[in-house]
Chains A and B, each alone.
Chain A
Amino acid sequence: MKVVYSRPKSLKRRPFHYCPGCGHSIVHRVMCELIDEMNLQERIVGIPPPGCSVFAYYYFDVDMVESAHGRGAAVATGFKRAYPEAIVFTYQGDGDLAAIGTAETIHAANRGEKITAIFINNAVYGMTGGQMAPTTLENQMTTTTPYGRDPKIEGYPIRISEMLALLKGAVYIERTAVNSPAHIQRTKRAIRKALQTQIDGLGFSMVEVLSPCPTNWRMTPIESWQWIDKVMSKEFPLGVIKDITGAKDAD
């Protein structure tokens, strides 16, 4: 018997604290597979946010440094400018990247900082108990939109990836999901390409991953994985949003 699938080396042997069915676990694993395959374990530095993934450093066996809420893109900028040889990624939720961190994200992308942003979009603020996020859908119930998000009061969900695509410094942006085997494999290919974009020194890269949050969506894991197909990806269409790297799709 040959091994077809086993735990990546750079994923520490420690049970995840994430909820059953949570997308973080999938993205962590997929990134660690890439870190193994692309031989980045000694060269990569990750910047996790406050949020459910604040403990990312318990799982990724790479150097990591905590960031203040929303400031990941600025911390990554300072780090990468000080030591360009490292490969730097931020790992951010929707509040971190698109609410409190909007300015840092936009301007890092605008300057074409050679960093990679991994944007975990679960349409809600997970760690703090399920409040509205910039990406919360219209009519979606959250603890701070108990009557459903009303665009007249709370605005519409933000498509930050499409906004960032307008900036010349952003060279590769793709939106994927982790709610099916095919989507998970696509997410892995997208993150591989984003990291390669940085390795090639081309500019700012980002992968937005639609991620299930069964607990705060008040669904079972299976229901939450299905909701991404049925509802969420209608608001946030999957696919390459921008690619001016000129490179072939990593397959």
Chain B
Amino acid sequence: MKGYIEIDQELCKGCQICLTFCTKAVIALHSKVNAAGYVPVAFNKDGNCNGCGVCAIVCPEVAIEVYRE
């Protein structure tokens, strides 16, 4: 199963809960600061995301949309 997520980096508050729960290590801290002053997370689309959706379930900001093949 191949998955893909989209993170709205302006909504993200950098709480890092998603990357704590991600089992495929496809989420990491971004290198920039967003307009609100937070360091958001970013998705590694070359990784092994399987579209499990756990990141979206734990994201408080509803900043993640999850897609699956």
Interface residues of A (CB under 8 A from B): 1-7, 11, 15-16, 18-26, 29, 180-181, 184-185, 214, 220-222, 225
Contacts and interface: CB of A to CB of B under 8 A. Distances in A.
A2 to B, nearest CB: 6
Given A1-B69, A4-B67, A4-B68, A20 B62 contact: no
Nearest to B56: A5
A5 B65 contact: yes
Q: Which of A3, A4, A221 neighbours the largest number of chain B CB atoms within 10 Å of its CB?
A: A4
A16 B4 CA distance: 24
Interface residues of B, number: 28
Given A25-B60, A181-B54, A181-B57, A3 B17 contact: no
A11 B11 CA distance: 14
A23 B15 CA distance: 12
Interface of B: 3-4, 10-11, 13-17, 20-21, 36, 38, 51, 53-54, 56-58, 60-62, 64-69
Contacts of B17: 21, 221-222, 225
Contacts of A3: 65-67
B35 to A, nearest CB: 10
Contacts of A181: 21, 54, 57-58
B15 A4 contact: no
Contacts of B62: 7, 11, 25, 29
Contacts of A23: 60
A23 B68 CA distance: 27
A194 to B, nearest CB: 20
A5 B65 CA distance: 5
A26 B13 CA distance: 14
B62 to A, nearest CB: 5
Q: Which 8 A-B pairs have the closest CB atoms?
A: A25-B60, A20-B13, A20-B15, A221-B15, A5-B56, A5-B66, A1-B67, A21-B15
A4 B3 contact: yes
B60 A15 contact: no
Contacts of A184: 57-58
A221 B59 CA distance: 11
A18 B61 CA distance: 9
